[in-house]
Amino acid sequence: IIVTSGTEFADALSGSYLAAAKKAPILLTYSQAHESVLAYIRQNLSDGGTVYILGGESAVDADFESMLTGQDIRFKRLAGSDRFSTNLVILEEAGTRPDQEILICTGVGFADSLSASATGLPILLVHGSLTDAQKTFLATTSKEFIIIGGDAAVSAALEAELAAIGEVERVAGENR
């Protein structure tokens, strides 16, 4: 079962691929919802299953972890220093296949990544230019990238960075 912030979009959308890979539901939480999320977990977590907490303690607070520990539930927090590094941690946990396209979406707006989330493909969230960590990650993938959104979402300069790594296609319309 995947648990993420119910007030911010980035970790939840990053987690859409983890949900597909693990065949797991995504539960949204915030401090007032922790009890109902825990009740769902108690009723639905498979024997030996894991609860994946997406994002740092500012996304899903430490109190939620304490509640899981008190229930003797196995959990793993997938977090980085920001939404972009958390995205990479989530993608690395889920794993990618060598033949799998990587979707490239802006990490500062939700519309494009939300539209792409149902594909079951990995989504790399970007902003500005690729970070060194993102370049390292992409060096291990299939080298087939699909940019979701226009130049205002993912710049032509970033598209050129991707083209230096592999094949790039862009899917965009006049607006979201």
Query: How high does pLDDT run on average in the chain?
Result: 95
Using alpha carbons, list the distances in angstroms from residue 43 to 35, 36, 38, 165: 12, 11, 9, 45
Determine the pLDDT at residue 141: 92
Determine the pLDDT at residue 10: 93
**Section 88-94 average pLDDT:** 97
**Section 99-128 average pLDDT:** 95
pTM check: above 0.75: yes
- Of all residues in the chain, the percent with pLDDT exceeding 90 is 93
Task: Please report which confidence band the pLDDT of residue 118 belongs to, taking 50, 70 and 90 as the band edges.
Answer: very high
Of 90 and 71, more confident = 90
Determine the pLDDT at residue 100: 93
Determine the pLDDT at residue 3: 98
**Section 81-85 average pLDDT:** 97
Q: Tell me: the pLDDT tens digits for 14-67?
A: 999 999 999 999 999 999 999 999 999 999 999 999 999 999 999 999 999 999
